[in-house]
Amino acid sequence: MLDTEPDLSHSLFSHIDFASGAVVAVSGGSDSTALLLLLKEHLDRTAPATKLLAVTIDHRLRPGSAAEARAVAMLCTAYAIPHRVLSWSGPKPSTGLPAAAREARYRLLAQAARAEGMGLILTGHTADDQAETVLMRQARQEGLGRDEGRGHVDMTGRDHADITGRGLAGMAPATLHDCRDWIVRPLLGTRRSALRDFLRRRQIGWAEDPTNTDSAFERPRMRTALAEEGGGRLVNDALALAEREAAARCRLGGAAADLIVRFAARPAAGLIRLDPALLTCGDEPAAIYALRILLATLGGVGFLPDLARGEALFGRLKTGFLCATLSRTVVDFRRAGIFLRREARGLPPAATAMGTMVWDGRRQITLDDVHRTMLIAPLGQAEAKRLVVDEGEIPPSLARAALATEPALWKASEVLALPGVSEPLVAPFARFLPSFDLAPARAVGRLIGAAPFPASPLRGDGTERRGAKA
């Protein structure tokens, strides 16, 4: 049973840096309500001046959602906690509703955090949620094993993890959202039943979301299965598996980060050179993982290429020179090295240059009204040929091909540079960067000249090791 003495709050929150305050996502359910009140007690005891904001997202998917938001507001008033209700407005998709709702929820929570100058969002995901996540991914893995012909699985919106291996680590204790806001899950080691016991002792009620029992969705079906006989053992086994896989994923990421530092260089804009010694480095799983991250980054793709295709490409590279394409990235193995660059097909068309935008998944571009009469478009082969000269360090044809796919400002037929308004992105982690993957993401970010990621709010985060230093 959950105890609410200071030692419990210390174990739940003492490793989190609340210097900039925190937004707590509170739906009115038992998990998020308990999270809010436990955190309030902790901050009152340890740092009473800390800014705390509760935010309820009304998805407007059920008739009772507005009433639930009002109930949260009343609870927050009783505990002197600032509270805001944000609504997901606009049309809702007919398919993929849970993923779309999750995307809208994080977007609105991030908006609230930024408006208050906070970079930390807390959610009430519990050990039960973690077990459900792992078991669902395990079920998908077994399904793929029975049907190997299904090919690539798009894991966008699912922590960007492989359905095999990396995905079985479950939800990360912290995830960086949009390269700016940290989403932290302090209750991943706490069972839902313990949180409800805490609320009952305080005589605090909570809302029951009917969609949590709607068998039309995958998670409620898994939740129902775990409530049956033997479900407790399945939960414990899933949590143990998640712990093992999380540790393995961090080790793999650290090893991949080391290899990127040792064997990758950026000799020209949009061009990465890999030392062929990577192919015989002695740690093939880490080398393949590093290659997959680089392929997605150069191609501006939001998810890693399929593991089997990454392994196949690595095997072909070991046999000798080749030119191939994977994840919109050209892989060109020559005597001078293994070169990666964005392929010329499928580049964004010319568009009016204004505001902040992500261009081709590879660049964050921020423009102001001065650029309103200009267009943003790829530089193109003709301009690249004019700019690149043969300096003997790399094949000039490769430098031209890479530079031709980079963004440029155009005013009529004149090309202008993009100094200070274009930041490279580590594409597969630009939306969501789990703390498991912080080490390789930082290594790639330094390689391509991306802005540094904000420091993790988790003190003593093991992901700071092995090539992950900022």
Tokens of 343: 């392929």
* Topology annotation, domain 6-241: Rossmann fold (3.40.50)
Please give the pLDDT value at position 401: 95
Tokens of 253: 């990421």
- Sign of the Cα pseudo-torsion (393, 327, 366, 434, in order): negative
Query: 85 pLDDT exceeds 60?
Result: yes
Query: 152 pLDDT exceeds 50?
Result: no
| Gap between the Cα atoms of 94 and 79, Å rounded | 39
Please give the pLDDT value at position 208: 85
Query: pLDDT tens for residues 86-101?
Result: 999 888 888 888 889 8
DSSP 8-state class, residue 458: B
Average pLDDT taken over every residue of the chain: 87
Please give the pLDDT value at position 371: 64
| 369 CB burial (10 A radius; 0-12, 13-18, 19+) | exposed
Please give the pLDDT value at position 222: 76
Tokens of 298: 């150069």
- Per-domain boundaries in the chain: 6-241
Query: pLDDT tens for residues 246-267?
Result: 999 999 999 999 999 999 999 9
Query: pLDDT tens for residues 17-64?
Result: 999 999 999 999 999 999 999 999 999 999 999 999 999 999 888 888
| Proportion of the chain in helix, strand, coil states, percent, rounded to 5 | 45, 20, 35
Query: 466 pLDDT exceeds 50?
Result: no
| Gap between the Cα atoms of 354 and 372, Å rounded | 6
| Gap between the Cα atoms of 46 and 25, Å rounded | 21
The DSSP string of 232-259 is HHHHHHHHHHHHHHHHHHHHHHHHHHHH
Query: 354 pLDDT exceeds 70?
Result: yes
Please give the pLDDT value at position 170: 95
Least confident of 115-129, 289-303, 405-419: 405-419
Query: 211 pLDDT exceeds 70?
Result: no
Query: pLDDT tens for residues 276-334?
Result: 999 999 999 999 999 999 999 999 999 999 999 999 999 999 999 999 999 999 999 99
| Gap between the Cα atoms of 257 and 359, Å rounded | 26
Least confident of 48-57, 127-136, 203-212, 356-365: 203-212
| Gap between the Cα atoms of 276 and 338, Å rounded | 6
Local confidence band at 8 (pLDDT 50, 70, 90 cut-offs): low
Query: pLDDT tens for residues 443-453?
Result: 999 999 999 99
One-letter amino acid for residue 307 of the chain:
L
* 222-231: Cβ within 8 A, 24+ apart: 222/132, 222/135, 222/136, 222/139, 223/128, 223/132, 226/128, 226/131, 226/132, 226/135
Please give the pLDDT value at position 138: 87
What is the pairing mode between strands 432-434 and 375-378? unpaired
Please give the pLDDT value at position 166: 81
